[in-house]
Structure 1
Amino acid sequence: MSNLEWVPNRSSQLPLHQQIYAYMKRKIMNGEWTIGTKIPPQRTLALQFNVNRSTIVTALDELVADGLIQAKVGRGTVVMNNTWSIISSTPPPDWRNYVKSGTYQPNQSIIQDINNAESRPDIIRLGTGELAPELLPSEKMKKVFLQNKKQPLSLSYTEPKGDLYLREKICNFLKTKGIAVTPASVLIVSGGLQALQLISLGLLHKGSTIFHETPSYLTSVNLFQSAGMNLFGIPMESEGIKIDLLGRLKRQHNGALLYTIPSFHNPTGVSISKTRRKQLLDVCSKERLPIIEDDVYGDLWFEQPEPKPLKATDQQGLVLYMGSMSKTLGPGLRIGWLVGPEPVIDRLSDIKMQTDYGSSILSQYAVAEWLASGLYEEHLHHIRKELKIRRDLTLQILEKYFSEIATWNIPKGGFYIWLKLDMDVSMNKLFKKGLKEGILINPGNIYDQNDSTHLRLSFSYATAEQLEQGLIKLADLIEKRND
């Protein structure tokens, strides 16, 4: 059951418990909460409805009296029946079995909790990997749509690979990174996740092994696992992935692809050095191991640009290069791109047409205008300055409150600081205690299931005041971890 979107009206003459009772009863009676649906715990409901627990108890008691819910040992409180189940000669479908039968694996429970908690207005988001609302160019975006441009605004479907004008502008943008490519080798996608999904559907078979850095963002999504593939982690060091292991592991595990984030890695913030990038490309070329290069953070450097992407020196079509506007211009645009050999792009564009018939034409129009007008470069300059200020502030707070309990890296760009605690902790307990204190963290075991000492801190979302307030609370929770 996802976050409840309704809250009781405190101005109403109807008591709060009766409003909650009526709301939950409607959910049951109209079939939104089917028989067997588990009702959230009382403490969770009290938090979501912003009421006392006693108010929740009273509302639930009335639902029990109506025979609509029942507390079951080991299962919690579940929906027992509704009007339809009582008067119908045949029972309604058991949607629980349908839900369990789906081939796509659910998110880790802790990630589901994170996704739900991010909608809470009172929460301090210390791990969120996106730009704060105040850093997004909302007003300039409005002007882009209002201005009379030469580029016609169409509301029709685009061609399979995406709007040609946008792909041309992306090609021009990629030239600044040393990547020479034509529009035929560019596919517009609805964010990086869709690019990965298309790759899993169009290029790989069930049982394939995907190599990735450990820790890795890739382990926080079940995209490849849901397609029946295996993830295999390769350790990292200060300069990036340990490439001396690749050859042997490729042969032992028949690796199909390597997924890597060379610039400002998620979650560690590490960047692969120029020398290591060349070595990585050489090894993968020798082993015939294709690379998925995720470069969504590459433009967010602070003092100096990152080394050229792997794709810039790829002369064999070895690298599938992913870029996106989600981390720079706005995640709601849902616009990214995948660059690769034409046969690959042709194959994946055909699958994309079968799944969604193209990304939003309005978003494609907007991104093309930002790239063509020079607004995007101006925006990047502004965002780099703002992120550096937030990074420096976060480092100052860490130095003041965490110097005796943790160590950390100093990222040269991106969003993240990889905080290493000086002791093992129960990440689940720390996460839950944080939620009670109004802070949301991203534990390291999301990115490596065996990790019990790291946290991914993000300085891109919380305000300066929230960063200080939240990190002080977090330090206190860590020091009192045994309480």
Structure 2
Amino acid sequence: MLTGAAMKKSIKSDFVAGWIKEQIAAGKWAVGMKIPSQRVLAEDLSVNRSTVVAALDQLKAEGIIEGVMGKGTLVANNTWSLLASLPSPDRDMTPSAHAGIIDLSRGELAEDVFPENYLNDVLSRLSGKIQTLGYEERGGYEPLREAVAGYMARQGTPVSPSSILIVSGAMQGFQLIASGLLEAGSSILLEEPSYLYSIHTFQSLGMSLKGIQMDEEGLLLSSLQSAWTSGQKGALYTIPSFHNPTGTLMSLERRKDILSFGSSHKLPIIEDDIYRDLWLDSPPPPSLKSMDAAGNVLYISSLSKTLSPGLRIGWIAGSEAVIERLSNVKMQADYGTSSLSQRVAAEWLGEGLYEHHLQFVRNELRKRRLAASHSLQRYLSDLAEWTIPKGGFFIWLRLNQPISLKELYTESLNEGILFHPGSIYTEGSSRAIRLSFGYASPDQFEEGIKRMKKWIIALSK
């Protein structure tokens, strides 16, 4: 039986091995590439060199890396054996797999944020109305596209139903754009940090991500100007409303500047607006799409954050020619989004129920945001900095102490606390943490922050 010290060392070596696998799976370390030395890894991950040695031995046994005479330790494999050796996300990252875990990482809302029986009420309205469920038109169920167009018009972004493509969630929208519109070798410009760094849709198709600096008003135009020149291949991806992970709300003037730059420099813009409806203080400025006279903006939204992620309903709005192209690509992928889900969504959006539903959701999120603010102020006011967002449900916490976030993550997980380290959302180093107040209850959020404080103090000594 392992002693307490041996058990802790084993956990740390497993963590180091898992981190190295993540770098390979993400494409940061390619086959044949020499990995950093034991000394560098130990320093970067704030662990003993013996822990790194144990992790490397484990990876060599699994065939992930290999020692080559005169060359050092190289990546040997990044495909089947690596994927098979990675832990299942459902097993290791979801609260259902860990009894009593406090999940401060979850990018969705808890069930008690929504009105009781809200979905059953809509499903009962559909009873008797559905005669058959066959394949829909390529662009999606026509009444749903009409309902989406009407809803966007009420938001201030008028589009025609023929300029809308229904997709199976925003993630599929990204995949269709990447595979159907962009070329290998393209540069995807995006906020630094950004949610897009945490997925690998674009990188897997041979595209690179290039971070653009931000301030409290959103993307910095000067940083964008230095990163892009006309004639390049690529696009700008941005989350202007309640940005993930920072919660930043892009100002109206900044939106106009970014839109003008994109138009004049032939830089296509992908506007991810899935958090727009979750404003908590006042409605956000007009969407980029609503101010786009040149047809340069592709707009993505979804019901996953505001209604139900299980419905898998999202949409892309753009010029008819672009939507036609994406519709063809989608048909090759899945022959259309679920007919039943599309009918449920159409019922919500077409009858005005959605706006009423959002009022309830916003009221509940305001209560949770206030409780989260009090908890952070009570426990971390002298250890970190943060800005309370005006919408959405993410708080970007920046630690004052130069501690290892990887160690903090491991120790917090051992304590039953799950959060997202900032390194997920950036290519550089980060001393930030993304916290969600939308999933854990206010009492759970406070308990999680209280436990995290203990480890932040311990690791900073």
TM tier relative to shorter chain: 0.7 to 0.9
Which residue pairs with 1:438 in the alignment? 416
Q: Tell me the amino acid that sits aligned with residue 243 of structure 2.
A: H
Distance 1:332 1:396 in 2: 32
Which residue pairs with 1:307 in the alignment? 285
Deviation of 1:139 after TM superposition, in Å, equals: 1.8
387, 390, 393: which one aligns with 1:412: 390
- Residue pair 1:441, 1:457 contacting (<8 A) in 2 also: yes
Structure 2 unaligned blocks of 5 or more: 1-8, 13-55, 63-75
Distance 1:311 1:252 in 2: 21
1:358 paired with 2:356, answer no
Alignment of 1:62-81 (within 5 A): 74-75=58-59
Q: Tell me the amino acid that sits aligned with residue 426 of structure 2.
A: D
Which residue pairs with 1:427 in the alignment? 405
- Residue pair 1:137, 1:329 contacting (<8 A) in 2 also: no
Alignment of 1:98-137 (within 5 A): 99-100=79-80, 115-116=93-94, 119-137=97-115
Deviation of 1:197 after TM superposition, in Å, equals: 0.3
Which residue pairs with 1:376 in the alignment? 354
Q: Tell me the amino acid that sits aligned with residue 58 of structure 2.
A: G
Which residue pairs with 2:304 in the alignment? 326
Deviation of 1:74 after TM superposition, in Å, equals: 2.8
Which residue pairs with 2:159 in the alignment? 181
- Residue pair 1:153, 1:365 contacting (<8 A) in 2 also: no
Structure 1 unaligned blocks of 5 or more: 1-40, 45-71, 79-95
For residues 3-38 of structure 1, the C-alpha deviation after alignment (integer angstroms, 9 at most, x for no partner) is: xxxxxxxxxxxxxxxxxxxxxxxxxxxxxxxxxxxx
Distance 1:152 1:412 in 2: 40
SS in 2 for 1:211: strand
Which residue pairs with 1:51 in the alignment? none
231, 245, 265: which one aligns with 1:287: 265
Distance 2:279 2:101 in 1: 28
1:298 paired with 2:282, answer no
225, 228, 232: which one aligns with 1:247: 225
Distance 2:84 2:393 in 1: 26
For residues 250-284 of structure 1, the C-alpha deviation after alignment (integer angstroms, 9 at most, x for no partner) is: 11892510000000000000000011111111111
Q: Tell me the amino acid that sits aligned with residue 179 of structure 2.
A: L
Q: CA RMSD in A?
A: 2.9
Which residue pairs with 2:143 in the alignment? 165
Deviation of 1:410 after TM superposition, in Å, equals: 1.5
Change over 3 Å in CA distance of 1:346–1:101 after alignment to 2: farther
Distance 2:331 2:260 in 1: 35
- Residue pair 1:424, 1:452 contacting (<8 A) in 2 also: no
Change over 3 Å in CA distance of 1:126–1:107 after alignment to 2: farther
SS in 2 for 1:129: coil
Change over 3 Å in CA distance of 1:402–1:418 after alignment to 2: same
Distance 1:332 1:106 in 2: 27
Deviation of 1:148 after TM superposition, in Å, equals: 5.0
Q: Tell me the amino acid that sits aligned with residue 305 of structure 1.
A: P
Alignment of 1:230-245 (within 5 A): 230-245=208-223
Percent of pairs with identical residues: 44
Change over 3 Å in CA distance of 1:446–1:113 after alignment to 2: farther
Deviation of 1:98 after TM superposition, in Å, equals: 10
SS in 2 for 1:198: helix
SS in 1 for 2:433: strand
Deviation of 1:133 after TM superposition, in Å, equals: 2.0
Distance 1:452 1:425 in 2: 10
SS in 2 for 1:223: coil
Tell which structure's C-alpha radius of gyration is larger. Answer: 1
SS in 2 for 1:212: strand
Distance 1:415 1:240 in 2: 17
For residues 424-448 of structure 1, the C-alpha deviation after alignment (integer angstroms, 9 at most, x for no partner) is: 2212111111110000010000001
Change over 3 Å in CA distance of 1:148–1:331 after alignment to 2: closer
326, 331, 355: which one aligns with 1:348: 326
Which residue pairs with 1:55 in the alignment? none
Q: Tell me the amino acid that sits aligned with residue 410 of structure 1.
A: I
Change over 3 Å in CA distance of 1:197–1:148 after alignment to 2: closer
- Residue pair 1:294, 1:321 contacting (<8 A) in 2 also: yes
Distance 1:107 1:250 in 2: 39
Change over 3 Å in CA distance of 1:370–1:189 after alignment to 2: same
SS in 1 for 2:459: coil
Distance 1:253 1:437 in 2: 51
- Residue pair 1:155, 1:362 contacting (<8 A) in 2 also: yes
Which residue pairs with 1:456 in the alignment? 434
Alignment of 1:134-145 (within 5 A): 134-137=112-115, 139-145=117-123
- Residue pair 1:431, 1:440 contacting (<8 A) in 2 also: yes
Deviation of 1:169 after TM superposition, in Å, equals: 0.2
Deviation of 1:100 after TM superposition, in Å, equals: 2.6
Which residue pairs with 1:389 in the alignment? 367
- Residue pair 1:214, 1:447 contacting (<8 A) in 2 also: yes
- Residue pair 1:264, 1:413 contacting (<8 A) in 2 also: yes
- Residue pair 2:175, 2:201 contacting (<8 A) in 1 also: yes
- Residue pair 2:185, 2:233 contacting (<8 A) in 1 also: no
What TM-score results when the alignment is normalised by the length of structure 2?
A: 0.80
Q: Tell me the amino acid that sits aligned with residue 379 of structure 1.
A: H
Distance 2:126 2:91 in 1: 44
- Residue pair 1:317, 1:341 contacting (<8 A) in 2 also: yes
Distance 1:341 1:154 in 2: 31
SS in 2 for 1:472: helix
Which residue pairs with 1:210 in the alignment? 188
Distance 1:350 1:127 in 2: 36
Which residue pairs with 1:49 in the alignment? none
SS in 2 for 1:371: helix
Distance 1:342 1:108 in 2: 41
- Residue pair 1:322, 1:336 contacting (<8 A) in 2 also: yes
SS in 1 for 2:284: coil
Distance 2:458 2:307 in 1: 39
